[in-house]
Amino acid sequence: MSDRQTIPSSLAASPVIAIVRGGAGEHLLSACEALLDRGIVHLEITTNTPGWERAVTELAAREAAVIGVGTVLTAEHVARAAVAGASFVVAPNTDARVGAAAAAAGLGWYPGAFTPTEIALAWELGATAVKVFPAAQAGGPAFLSAVRAPLPHVLLVPTGGIGADDARAYLDRGAVAVGLGSPLLGDALDGGSLDDLRARADAVLLAVSGG
């Protein structure tokens, strides 16, 4: 595997990755802009979200934004993400071919893994950080702590079933960031209230800050 990409320093200041998935595409940009405005600067827009390439291209031009592409299952997805201007790619699984393509394109790679064996393999294949997925079903913060005991060198980003109430607990157990999807986005991609989205974003950032 080629050189491992480094975790962006911005994650230390704002260790939240918003997972933007679904909708018809009509409200994609406005929802993403609302998150950026509230200080959630790491956005993962998935390949099964209509209009994802156009949104990545537009948002990646924002100075403070760190835009990635999720549900990246093939080397072709990696190539399209790179052309769109993404900084990183995320997958629900670990595929060495996707990792090699990401490394060749200079993109961060966050492959999904569930068991300690899968997590260790993803790291050996060159993951920037390993996406522990689905984190809540794996055992939540306690599982993360148990995994890190024998694998303290592996950077972990738990994702799946995480909300504002427990995001801080994952960070306290050693996660470098947490990924939040529907508990954060709610119905914003379907035309739901952007004010409510901003309020959820504020609550998440307050929670992860320990406030």
Quote the pLDDT of residue 82: 98
Domains, the chain, with CATH or none: 10-208 (3.20.20.70)
Quote the pLDDT of residue 210: 83
Percentage of the chain with pLDDT > 70?
98
Active-site residue set: 44, 131
Region 117-131 average pLDDT:
97
- State pLDDT tens for residues 191-203: 999 999 999 999 9
Q: How far is CA 37 from CA 110, 141, 197, 206, in A?
A: 25, 29, 11, 15
**pLDDT of 136 higher than 80:** yes
**pLDDT of 211 higher than 80:** no
Region 88-110 average pLDDT:
97
Q: Which residue has the higher pLDDT, 99 or 13?
A: 99
Region 11-33 average pLDDT:
96
Q: What is the pTM of this model?
A: 0.96
- b/e string for 62-90 if b means 16 or more Cβ within 10 A? eeebbbbbbbbbebebbebbbebbbbbbb
- Tokens at residue 26, please? 């009509």
